[in-house]
Amino acid sequence: MPKRNVVLPALAAASALLTAAAALLPGPLYAAEVLDLGTAFTLLLDAVPPLGIAAVALGALCLGVALRRRARGVAALGAAAALVGLAALLAVADFRRTAAANPLHDVTTDLDAPPSFRALEARRYAPGGPDARAAAPHPDWRATHAEIYPDLETLTLDAPLDQAFARARRAAEAMDWAIEAAEQTGTGARLEAVDQTGWFGFRDDIVVVLRPAPAGGVAVDARSVSRIGVSDLGKNAERLRAFLARLAP
């Protein structure tokens, strides 16, 4: 094959590989502490769009040239490169859209009195601690929370406190939370745990509080907070919904 006939496919393949690497590797490299968060997000949000556009353009050009020359293998490579670029562009666009739609990193079932951390408090904000992060608060947290998460509210269980607490602990264990504290007293119970997201390996803190409900039964409130602000991409709300669904009768 003449040299000029392999340059375009090579460029298309290279652009697709670079796009895929920039889109897929920032999370694992940050989790492995190879990249800091700023660099990881720069690769994902700033490098992927131009690389993706290049992959789409070069892939489409390669596909068009190959189809005219009836070179099926090269046509397939061009189509694959274009699809990789398009998929990466759509993924970044969805990431930005999800972040904009979920501007909070602190989510709870009780807006009036969010459950507080005890066992995890020192770890969350210890200066220089391995998991110490500056989680930026939202300037209008309560109103924004009420607007975007209207379904999150206190769950009332028709069960004795000890049974309700046992169910809460089983639900936490089933969700693979790392339980850091669990205690029951005569007037209530609480559970604190840590969960880790899959892609970037972010650690989120959870507290669950149980107390006698005024009308009978046990009231369950929960709170899930990311150690890194600002947006959590909806993960905390998703986590609480899944947890409450496991507890609901």
Q: Say which residue the tokens 């090269």 belong to.
A: 74
Quick check: helix, strand or coil at residue 236? helix
Give the pLDDT band of residue 124 (cuts 50, 70, 90): low
Which of 48, 66, 101 terminates a domain? The answer is: 101
Tens of pLDDT along 83-112? Answer: 999 999 999 999 999 999 999 999 999 999
Instruction: Give the pLDDT of residue 132.
Output: 41
Instruction: Give the pLDDT of residue 248.
Output: 86
Instruction: Give the pLDDT of residue 123.
Output: 58
Which of 101, 134, 163 terminates a domain? The answer is: 101
Based on the fold, state whether residues 110 and 228 are members of the same structural domain.
Answer: yes
Give the pLDDT band of residue 122 (cuts 50, 70, 90): low
Token digits of residue 47? 């490098």
User: How many domains is the chain built from?
Assistant: 2
Give the pLDDT band of residue 131 (cuts 50, 70, 90): very low
Q: How far apart are CA 217 and CA 45, in angstroms?
A: 48
Which of 47, 81, 101 terminates a domain? The answer is: 101
Q: What is the mean pLDDT of residues 191-202?
A: 93
Range of the domain at 178: 106-247
Based on the fold, state whether residues 115 and 238 are members of the same structural domain.
Answer: yes
Based on the fold, state whether residues 31 and 132 are members of the same structural domain.
Answer: no
Based on the fold, state whether residues 233 and 125 are members of the same structural domain.
Answer: yes
CATH number at residue 182: 3.30.530.50
Based on the fold, state whether residues 64 and 114 are members of the same structural domain.
Answer: no
Tens of pLDDT along 16-51? Answer: 999 999 999 999 999 999 999 999 999 999 999 999
Tens of pLDDT along 236-245? Answer: 999 999 999 9
pTM: 0.85
Instruction: Give the pLDDT of residue 230.
Output: 78
Based on the fold, state whether residues 128 and 223 are members of the same structural domain.
Answer: yes
Burial degree of 133 (CB within 10 A; 0-12, 13-18, 19+): middle
Based on the fold, state whether residues 118 and 199 are members of the same structural domain.
Answer: yes
Q: How far apart are CA 93 and CA 88, in angstroms?
A: 9
Instruction: Give the pLDDT of residue 249.
Output: 75
Instruction: Give the pLDDT of residue 139.
Output: 80
Token digits of residue 49? 């769009």
Based on the fold, state whether residues 94 and 139 are members of the same structural domain.
Answer: no
Based on the fold, state whether residues 144 and 69 are members of the same structural domain.
Answer: no
Based on the fold, state whether residues 81 and 34 are members of the same structural domain.
Answer: yes
H-helix or E-strand spanning residue 60: helix 48-69
